[in-house]
Amino acid sequence: MTEVHQSELDLSPRQNEAGRRAPNRRHWGAIIVLVLVLFAGGVIVTQFLTSAVDYYCNVDEVGVRDGCDPDRRIRLQGTVEEGSVDRVGSATVFTISFNGVTMPVRYEGEPGGIFKECIPVVVHGEIVDDVLVGDRVEVRHSNEYLSVNDERVADAVEAACEGGS
């Protein structure tokens, strides 16, 4: 074996044919994956925080209670007024009320499930020109509604239309 002296070792970076230093491509894949993971995490956190800051209000609290301002996204509880449900194009329009105060609602699509008149609902959305434009409707009898809004169900049932469930 020959003894190699330090002066004989070439420790300079390798050069490509053009005489430039070859780029290290191994890290680009990891960087791209990291950026995608961070972006996805940011989207998830943003969606969670957006949902978490929707204030829960009864119809009679809009414009009265802190957090129930008509210029912000809210979850609004009320009872669907008898005779108020109608289809307008692809939207379902109806009126909800609580403690004698009413709010017209426009929900794009069909609320589905057991949605009907005279039952308490929670509508997620924003108030635009004095109409709650909803993007989600929870019906009183759904497990999700009961688990989230159990303490409010009794008040809403008490205020429901005669003969309603």
Q: How far apart are CA 61 and CA 112, in angstroms?
A: 26
What CATH number does the domain located at 55-159 have? 2.40.50.140
Per-residue model confidence (pLDDT) at position 125: 92
Divide the 165 residues of the chain into consecutive groups of 10 and give the mean pLDDT of each group. 62 67 67 91 79 77 85 90 92 94 92 86 92 88 54 60 52
Per-residue model confidence (pLDDT) at position 164: 46
Domain locations in the chain? Answer: 55-159
Within 6-142, residue ranges assigned H as helices are 26-52
Cα Rg, the chain, nearest whole Å: 29
Q: Is the whole model's pTM more than 0.75, yes or no?
A: no
